[in-house]
Structure 1
Amino acid sequence: MVTIGFAGVLACAPVAHAVTPIGPVPLQQGSDCDPNYSGPCVPIASDVDCAGGSGNGPAYVQGPVTVVGNDIYDLDRDGNGTGCES
């Protein structure tokens, strides 16, 4: 019979590894983000449009974003609950 001491148990424990995101990280919801949307930060501005679309800003958001309140910036054109899908 082989006895493994406490150190042997620790050596077998799983080790957590930090994961570094690749590419830009979407801004998190905060005080400068409109609470009507979740996901990437939709800035509070006079008008917000989807990045890469035909809107004229002055602010833009890279989607997709989920509408959780009123779609005050009309980002969800088809009404399915997700804005800036393309």
Structure 2
Amino acid sequence: MGAAGAEPTTPSLGRANTPPPHEEANTVVIAAVVALVFVTLLTVLAVIVVYLYRNKGSYLTYEQPAAGSDGSEPTEDASPKDKEEYFI
């Protein structure tokens, strides 16, 4: 039969090829950098979403308010024709 220290003939029973320690360290560093970039992108996306949600609809206008109104409520006597705006 075979010697006691002989390698098995079946490939699946052979020893696993483990990479040297410096290659494992490189893999860990690469994984950490990828994870850090991913977390940074998620954080930036969350900050943008919160900023856009809080500032939704807020804008500055430099138009003068209509005479006799403070701009808080529209006047009832204005016809719908006056309120139409066309953007080209």
TM-score by length of 1: 0.29
Greater strand content: 1
Normalised to the residue count of structure 2, the TM-score between the two structures is: 0.29
Bigger fraction of residues in helix? 2
Q: Tell me which of the two structures has the higher relative contact order, counting C-alpha pairs closer than 8 angstroms and 6 or more residues apart.
A: 1
Q: Which one has a bigger Cα radius of gyration? A: 2
